[in-house]
Amino acid sequence: KIGNETVKAELGRAAWKLLHTTMAKFPDKPSQDEQTALFSYLHLFARLYPCGECAGHFRQILNKFPPQVSSRSSAAAWACHVHNEVNKSLQKELFDCSNIGDFYDCGCAEEDEEKEK
């Protein structure tokens, strides 16, 4: 368990950034294999998240709201929703999930095979 609140918050911001950016890059029409990969990734993320107390809370949220992996937009909306569940429990402001569209950008090419600009 990470004792220092500042470090815990920094880890949280980094983790949310990675999570939301992963969703923003997930395929619009994922294959079955891609859907399974995201579903497993999220469960392993919740299992291995280094702040043990946070991971425990997050696993409860995941049980209540199973990951939506059928498309980019449903995955992004799901992640926004569960982040808001954490925001609620920490008495933080809620994020307007209708604004999630362009908020998270990986700074990378849309297609993996596209050359670096």
Query: Which residues contact ligand FAD (rule: CB under 6 A)?
Result: 8-9, 12-13, 15-16, 20, 49, 53-54, 57-58, 80, 83-84, 86-87, 90, 92, 95, 100
Q: 102: which 2 tokens?
A: 């362009």
Residue nearest to ligand FAD according to CB distances in the complex? 12
Q: Which is nearer to ligand FAD, 5 or 116 (CB)?
A: 5
Between residues 31 and 99, which has the closer beta carbon with respect to ligand FAD? Answer: 99
In this structure, what token pair is assigned to residue 88?
């609620």
